[in-house]
Structure 1
Amino acid sequence: MSELPSYVSGVFLAIVAVTFGFLYYSIKLAQPNKSDQSAIIVSTFMMVWIFILSILALYGMFLDFEAMPPPLLYVILPPLAAIIIAVSKKQSRVYLMNIPITTLTYLHIVRVPVEIVLWWLAGSQLLPYLLTFEGINYDILSGISAPFVAIFMVGLRSKSRIGAILWNIIALGLLVNVVGHAILSTPTPFQLFAFDTPNIAVFHFPFVLLPGFVVPAVLFSHLVSLIKLFDKDGELV
């Protein structure tokens, strides 16, 4: 990783910070009163998780590509489990319904710089061009279209529940597409793609925070948005 220009890591860390800020702000807006400390509690857990992943990656704990189960599972499963619990429990779902869908939609703008970082990483042969907008990754379209959806489909100017549902489903499909190919491009016993240039960037700091934090944040935003959109009695706010 020493040959990688320092600005690539810097830009990615800025993406992580912005994503964190969006999540904190979203939860803050959902708090029913000023005495509620949910935003502080959740953000503390997020910071602890980011710290743990960063330390483990810095010490090379995810680099045993022959290990079973694959180390990447330990990066993906905890945030995925947290999201499933959050959206499935009745008490937390009531809370999540108070998060403004416009804020959740604006969060997807981070997908644009993420795609640029992936392109830089591919140029340094740390992941295949397959995972960039030059390959099968069209996720950048979700980031580019996010502000328009936030303004014209769920924002104050106009609202289109059907349009917003379709956009979230399509954008979620684009996310699943690139994540699936990214997992199957890693140097594990399950690798199916990119044998010449495998996806190794996500096993190193700070890029381990892509599958461990940024992608789960994007997934969380889609799921909560869809829950709100399919609730016909809910307000598109």
Structure 2
Amino acid sequence: MHPPPSLTYGFIALTLLTAWWFYRLTGSRAVVGIGFVFWLAVHGVLAYRGFYGVTDTLPPRLALVMGPMLVLALATGFSSLGKTLRADLNLTHIHYFHGIRILVEVVFLHGLFTAGLVAEVVTYTGQNIDLLAGITGPLVGLLVFRQGWLSPTYAIVWNFVGMVSLGWTVSRAVLSAPSPYQQYGFEQPTLAIFYFPFIWLPALVAPLMVWAHCLALGRLLRP
């Protein structure tokens, strides 16, 4: 796999920015920062060595990437395990955080599609609607929590819809990648997410968006 260097180095920078921003949003706890470094290192090394390039296993090895982070997001978002994280959460800034999805969709996924490394179905010109979440997330933060022009109910609905949008996007990526479950992208499958550094998209960037949704909903539904 040979993506343009600008996409490779740019995505490394985006991942580090996403991790740092979320780290700041959750109160700069050392355990969060150490966990992110460990998680990125493990999956980065495995991807670099071609571990995820083996796509005929059941269950798919990609499940090892997203599963633990999604469980952590749900646990800390809706249970007492995340009580401290939710208490310190700035609801305005956690919605601004979703603006990162604009860069993911417009710059990186579309750039990888142009380079022949992801299927069109996972881009905004295909079936990916997550760009809308990236655009509207900061607006929710501004209109609901910064200006107070809209009620928090709008934020609750938006977060549920945003999670559905992200789940739809992830499912398109998984189903367009080479595997026994592939349904899309047979002429140009999604390959980039199996390799370094783009493994960090399903390993950290996308799960952090889910985590942000869960923390916001946990705060709004269990004040």
TM-score by length of 1: 0.88
Show the 5 A alignment for 1:51-200.
51-115=41-105, 116-200=107-191
**CA–CA distance in 2 between the matches of 1:217 and 1:145?**
17
Asked if the contact 1:22/1:103 (under 8 Å) is kept, the reply is no
**What is aligned with 1:20?**
19
The structure number with the bigger radius of gyration is 1
The 3 A distance-change label for structure 1 pair 70 and 91 is closer
C-alpha RMSD over aligned residues:
1.6
Asked if the contact 2:70/2:207 (under 8 Å) is kept, the reply is yes
Instruction: Return the offset for 1:42.
Output: 1.2
Asked if the contact 2:25/2:93 (under 8 Å) is kept, the reply is yes
| Amino acid paired to 2:96 | Y
User: Number of residue pairs matched?
Assistant: 222
TM-score by length of 2: 0.93
**CA–CA distance in 1 between the matches of 2:4 and 2:192?**
13
Instruction: Return the offset for 1:146.
Output: 2.1
Q: Which portions of structure 1, spanning 4 or more consecutive aligned residues, are displaced by more than 4 angstroms?
A: none
**What is aligned with 2:200?**
209
**CA–CA distance in 1 between the matches of 2:13 and 2:112?**
16
1:118-167 CA-to-partner distances (Å, cap 9, x unmatched) read 00101111111111010111111111222221111122554521111122
**CA–CA distance in 2 between the matches of 1:71 and 1:42?**
24
Asked if the contact 1:97/1:224 (under 8 Å) is kept, the reply is no
**CA–CA distance in 1 between the matches of 2:85 and 2:23?**
14
- Paired-residue identity, %: 28
More helix by share: 2
Q: Which 5+ residue runs of structure 2 have no aligned equivalent?
A: none
